A = this chain, B = another copy of it.
């Protein structure tokens, strides 16, 4: 029987631009100097946090397109999503762009899902260039999922901190660009299945997402015949400290030792202790901004050669939690390669 867990060959897809926009807390973190734009007030000139999030999306896409001297009409497809109900920060934030629009919902896996579909579109000649944009906003997410920040609710040790940030990427076919414009090539992609292992604690999304992450990684290693040794880093977005620990245990139990390769966008973006963010960052914006402004430059410079990066999404809603349901999660994986490893 042929498996339905197949690697998607995204041959020819290369990321040629990226941009990141973050809030004050992210700017104060260890990667602060990497990001393209920040606003210490988290407001971006808007009256509501939801509109601030949309404005971050607009700004990140404008910047990603502008960096390569392109125009919106050079982009044939736009894959976008966020955490807000009905994904309104994408729909409103990107409204000024007359680019065919594919709305996505994958919680924190949305950046990977969008990059995957954008890579498919350019790899298969459906789009000349495609863009992926995602965002999250701490204040908008907290009042939607939990409580408004003004309540000053206590957070548990396993809780993650929703990143205020938006990241945008432009993907092209390598045939249409010169090698020196490539940040990284998208070698292959591996979509995940939805996994739910009984975790009902929304303050422990790491535990809910780790089984989905393990499922994707183990099936990808099996399908590709590769092992952690083949990659410089295997980066999740965003399991947090708690989820990383659980993932390590699941992989070990499966005979995979990846401990020296595993990293997490959620633990990179903040100083967990000093910034009091408990288990680490999360949100659609977290992996997007860390990839856009910290990982891709390392690939571009050849400091990293081959990496796996996978987005992990916890797809509960406040209503589903109140109705007693456990948290379903999904993990979508990309294999990225530096232009140096590819072209030299």
Chain A interface (Cβ < 8 Å from any Cβ of B): 1-6, 8, 48, 50-51, 72-77, 81, 83-88, 91-92, 94-95, 97-107, 113, 117, 120-121, 124, 126-128, 144, 191-194, 196, 313, 315-320, 323, 325, 328, 330
Contact = CB atoms under 8 A, between A and B. Distances in A.
A319 B85 CA distance: 8
Nearest to A91: B315
Given A48-B323, A87-B315, A320-B50, A105 B103 contact: yes
A81 B106 CA distance: 10
Contacts of A87: 105, 315
Contacts of A74: 4
A319 B84 contact: yes
Contact of A194 (B85, B101, B317): B101
A73 B194 contact: no
A185 B249 CA distance: 47
B317 A85 contact: yes
A323 B51 contact: yes
Given A50-B319, A91-B315, A315-B87, A76 B328 contact: no
A315 B86 contact: yes
A91 B3 contact: no
A105 B81 contact: yes
B117 A126 contact: no
